[in-house]
Structure 1
Amino acid sequence: MTSTYIKNIDDLRTEIARLEIAKQQQGEKLKLRFNSPSAIFGTISSAFGGPSSVGGLKQNFVGMISRVALPFVLNKTLFKKSNFIVKGLVGLVSQKAAGFIDEGTVTNVVDKAKALLAKIGIGKKNPAPDTDQRLPYSETLS
Protein backbone atom coordinates (compact mmCIF):
# COMPACT_ATOMS: atom_id res chain seq x y z
CA MET A 1 0.00 0.00 0.00
CA THR A 2 1.33 3.35 -0.91
CA SER A 3 1.27 6.21 1.50
CA THR A 4 0.09 9.52 0.13
CA TYR A 5 0.56 12.86 1.73
CA ILE A 6 -2.44 15.12 1.69
CA LYS A 7 -1.33 18.73 1.74
CA ASN A 8 -4.44 20.56 0.60
CA ILE A 9 -8.12 20.12 -0.20
CA ASP A 10 -7.43 19.07 -3.80
CA ASP A 11 -5.22 16.19 -2.62
CA LEU A 12 -8.00 15.13 -0.23
CA ARG A 13 -10.62 15.16 -3.00
CA THR A 14 -8.31 13.15 -5.29
CA GLU A 15 -7.71 10.56 -2.57
CA ILE A 16 -11.47 10.29 -1.83
CA ALA A 17 -12.17 9.74 -5.55
CA ARG A 18 -9.46 7.07 -5.74
CA LEU A 19 -10.86 5.27 -2.69
CA GLU A 20 -14.42 5.37 -4.09
CA ILE A 21 -13.21 3.79 -7.34
CA ALA A 22 -11.31 1.12 -5.39
CA LYS A 23 -14.44 0.45 -3.29
CA GLN A 24 -16.54 0.03 -6.43
CA GLN A 25 -14.02 -2.37 -7.99
CA GLN A 26 -13.84 -4.48 -4.82
CA GLY A 27 -17.64 -4.58 -4.65
CA GLU A 28 -17.79 -5.94 -8.20
CA LYS A 29 -15.21 -8.62 -7.35
CA LEU A 30 -17.22 -9.65 -4.29
CA LYS A 31 -20.41 -9.91 -6.35
CA LEU A 32 -18.62 -12.25 -8.74
CA ARG A 33 -17.42 -14.46 -5.87
CA PHE A 34 -20.91 -14.78 -4.36
CA ASN A 35 -23.19 -14.77 -7.40
CA SER A 36 -24.22 -18.46 -7.25
CA PRO A 37 -24.25 -21.34 -4.76
CA SER A 38 -21.34 -23.03 -6.50
CA ALA A 39 -19.29 -19.85 -6.28
CA ILE A 40 -20.07 -19.56 -2.56
CA PHE A 41 -19.09 -23.20 -2.01
CA GLY A 42 -15.87 -22.63 -3.97
CA THR A 43 -15.05 -19.61 -1.82
CA ILE A 44 -15.66 -21.52 1.40
CA SER A 45 -13.78 -24.62 0.26
CA SER A 46 -10.81 -22.52 -0.85
CA ALA A 47 -10.56 -21.19 2.71
CA PHE A 48 -10.38 -24.73 4.11
CA GLY A 49 -8.97 -26.62 1.13
CA GLY A 50 -5.43 -27.28 0.08
CA PRO A 51 -2.80 -29.45 1.69
CA SER A 52 -3.36 -30.77 5.18
CA SER A 53 -1.37 -29.18 7.95
CA VAL A 54 -1.78 -30.86 11.30
CA GLY A 55 -3.23 -28.51 13.86
CA GLY A 56 -3.73 -25.75 11.31
CA LEU A 57 -6.78 -24.50 9.51
CA LYS A 58 -5.79 -25.87 6.12
CA GLN A 59 -7.29 -29.34 5.71
CA ASN A 60 -9.32 -31.14 3.09
CA PHE A 61 -12.97 -32.14 3.27
CA VAL A 62 -12.36 -35.67 4.62
CA GLY A 63 -10.20 -34.26 7.41
CA MET A 64 -12.88 -31.75 8.39
CA ILE A 65 -15.56 -34.45 8.49
CA SER A 66 -13.33 -36.74 10.55
CA ARG A 67 -12.84 -34.01 13.17
CA VAL A 68 -16.56 -34.23 13.94
CA ALA A 69 -17.34 -37.85 13.10
CA LEU A 70 -14.42 -39.57 14.85
CA PRO A 71 -15.14 -38.34 18.40
CA PHE A 72 -18.87 -38.83 17.90
CA VAL A 73 -18.50 -42.43 16.69
CA LEU A 74 -15.99 -43.36 19.38
CA ASN A 75 -18.09 -41.90 22.19
CA LYS A 76 -21.29 -43.53 20.92
CA THR A 77 -19.78 -46.99 20.38
CA LEU A 78 -16.60 -47.91 22.24
CA PHE A 79 -16.93 -45.47 25.15
CA LYS A 80 -20.71 -45.55 25.46
CA LYS A 81 -20.86 -46.07 29.23
CA SER A 82 -17.82 -43.97 30.10
CA ASN A 83 -17.90 -40.87 32.26
CA PHE A 84 -17.56 -37.35 30.90
CA ILE A 85 -13.82 -37.13 31.67
CA VAL A 86 -13.02 -40.16 29.51
CA LYS A 87 -15.32 -38.86 26.77
CA GLY A 88 -13.59 -35.49 26.91
CA LEU A 89 -10.17 -37.11 26.62
CA VAL A 90 -11.37 -39.24 23.72
CA GLY A 91 -12.62 -36.06 22.06
CA LEU A 92 -9.28 -34.30 22.48
CA VAL A 93 -7.21 -37.26 21.29
CA SER A 94 -9.48 -37.94 18.33
CA GLN A 95 -9.31 -34.26 17.32
CA LYS A 96 -5.53 -34.58 17.09
CA ALA A 97 -5.81 -37.92 15.28
CA ALA A 98 -8.25 -36.42 12.79
CA GLY A 99 -5.49 -34.07 11.68
CA PHE A 100 -3.67 -37.04 10.20
CA ILE A 101 -6.70 -38.29 8.26
CA ASP A 102 -7.02 -37.04 4.71
CA GLU A 103 -8.26 -38.31 1.36
CA GLY A 104 -4.99 -40.11 0.68
CA THR A 105 -5.11 -42.19 3.84
CA VAL A 106 -8.77 -43.09 3.27
CA THR A 107 -7.98 -44.14 -0.31
CA ASN A 108 -5.05 -46.27 0.94
CA VAL A 109 -7.24 -48.04 3.49
CA VAL A 110 -9.95 -48.76 0.91
CA ASP A 111 -7.40 -50.07 -1.60
CA LYS A 112 -5.82 -52.34 1.02
CA ALA A 113 -9.25 -53.64 2.04
CA LYS A 114 -10.11 -54.40 -1.59
CA ALA A 115 -6.82 -56.23 -2.05
CA LEU A 116 -7.38 -58.26 1.12
CA LEU A 117 -10.92 -59.19 0.11
CA ALA A 118 -9.77 -60.19 -3.37
CA LYS A 119 -6.99 -62.29 -1.84
CA ILE A 120 -9.36 -64.32 0.35
CA GLY A 121 -11.94 -64.63 -2.45
CA ILE A 122 -14.63 -62.26 -1.25
CA GLY A 123 -15.65 -59.76 -3.83
CA LYS A 124 -14.50 -61.86 -6.79
CA LYS A 125 -17.13 -62.25 -9.43
CA ASN A 126 -17.93 -65.85 -10.28
CA PRO A 127 -16.98 -66.72 -13.84
CA ALA A 128 -19.91 -67.12 -16.19
CA PRO A 129 -20.91 -70.78 -16.49
CA ASP A 130 -20.37 -72.49 -19.81
CA THR A 131 -23.85 -72.51 -21.33
CA ASP A 132 -23.04 -74.89 -24.16
CA GLN A 133 -22.85 -78.24 -22.35
CA ARG A 134 -24.61 -80.30 -25.01
CA LEU A 135 -23.25 -83.61 -26.14
CA PRO A 136 -21.25 -83.72 -29.32
CA TYR A 137 -23.29 -84.23 -32.52
CA SER A 138 -22.17 -87.83 -33.10
CA GLU A 139 -23.43 -88.99 -29.69
CA THR A 140 -26.86 -87.43 -29.98
CA LEU A 141 -27.90 -89.51 -33.03
CA SER A 142 -27.58 -92.92 -31.46
Structure 2
Amino acid sequence: RELVARIRAVLRRAGAAGGGGAGGGEGADHPITWGPLSVDRRTRLVRLEGAEVALTPKEYDLLVELCSDPGAVLTREHLIDRVWDENWWGSTKTLDVHVASLRKKLRPELIETVRGVGYRLAEVAGGP
Protein backbone atom coordinates (compact mmCIF):
# COMPACT_ATOMS: atom_id res chain seq x y z
CA ARG A 1 0.00 0.00 0.00
CA GLU A 2 2.76 2.42 0.89
CA LEU A 3 4.52 1.82 -2.44
CA VAL A 4 1.30 2.44 -4.37
CA ALA A 5 0.67 5.62 -2.37
CA ARG A 6 4.19 6.86 -3.05
CA ILE A 7 3.89 6.13 -6.77
CA ARG A 8 0.58 8.00 -6.90
CA ALA A 9 2.15 10.95 -5.10
CA VAL A 10 5.07 11.06 -7.54
CA LEU A 11 2.71 10.82 -10.53
CA ARG A 12 0.52 13.57 -9.09
CA ARG A 13 3.52 15.84 -8.56
CA ALA A 14 4.86 15.07 -12.04
CA GLY A 15 1.43 15.88 -13.48
CA ALA A 16 1.29 19.14 -11.54
CA ALA A 17 4.68 20.14 -12.92
CA GLY A 18 3.99 19.21 -16.51
CA GLY A 19 0.36 19.02 -17.42
CA GLY A 20 -2.25 18.70 -14.74
CA GLY A 21 -3.15 19.89 -11.29
CA ALA A 22 -2.41 23.34 -9.92
CA GLY A 23 1.05 23.66 -11.38
CA GLY A 24 0.35 22.79 -14.99
CA GLY A 25 -2.27 22.06 -17.54
CA GLU A 26 -4.50 24.54 -19.24
CA GLY A 27 -3.25 28.08 -18.85
CA ALA A 28 0.10 27.05 -17.35
CA ASP A 29 1.89 29.29 -19.86
CA HIS A 30 -0.01 32.34 -18.65
CA PRO A 31 0.74 34.01 -15.31
CA ILE A 32 -1.95 34.03 -12.67
CA THR A 33 -2.69 37.62 -11.69
CA TRP A 34 -4.65 38.42 -8.55
CA GLY A 35 -4.54 42.09 -7.62
CA PRO A 36 -0.89 43.05 -7.02
CA LEU A 37 0.21 39.40 -7.16
CA SER A 38 1.48 37.63 -10.28
CA VAL A 39 2.52 33.96 -10.37
CA ASP A 40 4.22 32.64 -13.50
CA ARG A 41 3.92 28.85 -13.38
CA ARG A 42 6.19 28.37 -16.39
CA THR A 43 9.17 30.15 -14.80
CA ARG A 44 8.10 29.75 -11.13
CA LEU A 45 8.49 33.50 -10.63
CA VAL A 46 6.31 35.35 -8.16
CA ARG A 47 5.93 39.11 -8.30
CA LEU A 48 4.23 41.46 -5.90
CA GLU A 49 3.58 44.89 -7.40
CA GLY A 50 6.19 44.07 -10.04
CA ALA A 51 8.95 43.17 -7.56
CA GLU A 52 10.19 39.58 -7.59
CA VAL A 53 9.54 37.63 -4.39
CA ALA A 54 11.86 34.73 -3.48
CA LEU A 55 9.91 31.71 -2.24
CA THR A 56 10.95 28.23 -1.17
CA PRO A 57 9.60 25.37 -3.31
CA LYS A 58 6.91 24.51 -0.74
CA GLU A 59 5.89 28.16 -0.34
CA TYR A 60 5.59 28.42 -4.12
CA ASP A 61 3.54 25.21 -4.37
CA LEU A 62 1.26 26.41 -1.58
CA LEU A 63 0.75 29.78 -3.28
CA VAL A 64 -0.02 28.13 -6.64
CA GLU A 65 -2.59 25.91 -4.95
CA LEU A 66 -4.22 28.95 -3.31
CA CYS A 67 -4.14 30.75 -6.68
CA SER A 68 -5.79 27.79 -8.40
CA ASP A 69 -9.15 29.05 -7.12
CA PRO A 70 -8.76 32.60 -5.73
CA GLY A 71 -11.36 33.50 -3.14
CA ALA A 72 -12.38 29.88 -2.56
CA VAL A 73 -11.76 28.34 0.85
CA LEU A 74 -9.28 25.46 0.62
CA THR A 75 -9.34 23.11 3.57
CA ARG A 76 -6.23 22.32 5.54
CA GLU A 77 -6.54 18.69 4.44
CA HIS A 78 -6.78 19.67 0.77
CA LEU A 79 -3.71 21.88 1.00
CA ILE A 80 -1.65 19.26 2.81
CA ASP A 81 -2.70 16.57 0.31
CA ARG A 82 -1.87 18.74 -2.70
CA VAL A 83 1.27 20.51 -1.48
CA TRP A 84 2.85 17.81 0.66
CA ASP A 85 1.43 14.37 0.11
CA GLU A 86 -1.80 12.57 0.84
CA ASN A 87 0.18 10.31 3.16
CA TRP A 88 1.81 13.19 5.08
CA TRP A 89 2.06 12.08 8.67
CA GLY A 90 3.67 15.17 10.17
CA SER A 91 2.01 17.94 12.11
CA THR A 92 -0.50 20.21 10.39
CA LYS A 93 1.42 23.05 12.05
CA THR A 94 3.77 22.73 9.07
CA LEU A 95 1.01 24.28 6.95
CA ASP A 96 0.57 27.11 9.46
CA VAL A 97 4.30 27.86 9.42
CA HIS A 98 4.40 27.98 5.62
CA VAL A 99 1.33 30.23 5.48
CA ALA A 100 2.92 32.56 8.05
CA SER A 101 6.09 32.68 5.96
CA LEU A 102 4.10 33.47 2.80
CA ARG A 103 2.27 36.25 4.62
CA LYS A 104 5.58 37.81 5.67
CA LYS A 105 6.99 37.63 2.15
CA LEU A 106 3.81 38.84 0.47
CA ARG A 107 1.19 40.80 2.38
CA PRO A 108 -0.51 39.44 5.49
CA GLU A 109 -3.95 40.40 4.17
CA LEU A 110 -3.55 38.42 0.91
CA ILE A 111 -4.05 35.07 2.65
CA GLU A 112 -7.06 34.80 4.93
CA THR A 113 -7.62 32.19 7.60
CA VAL A 114 -11.09 30.67 7.64
CA ARG A 115 -11.26 29.51 11.21
CA GLY A 116 -11.77 25.79 11.65
CA VAL A 117 -11.65 25.18 7.88
CA GLY A 118 -8.53 26.38 6.07
CA TYR A 119 -7.24 29.29 4.02
CA ARG A 120 -8.14 31.35 0.98
CA LEU A 121 -6.57 33.95 -1.23
CA ALA A 122 -8.35 37.12 -0.13
CA GLU A 123 -10.64 39.14 -2.33
CA VAL A 124 -8.72 42.06 -3.76
CA ALA A 125 -10.27 45.53 -3.92
CA GLY A 126 -11.22 46.20 -7.52
CA GLY A 127 -11.23 42.49 -8.41
CA PRO A 128 -8.45 40.28 -9.78
TM-score computed with the length of structure 1 as normaliser: 0.20
TM-score computed with the length of structure 2 as normaliser: 0.22
Instruction: Compare the two structures and name the one with the higher helix fraction.
Output: 1
Instruction: Compare the two structures and name the one with the higher strand fraction.
Output: 2
Structure with max Cα Rg: 1
> Quick one: higher RCO (CA 8 Å, sep 6+), 1 or 2?
2
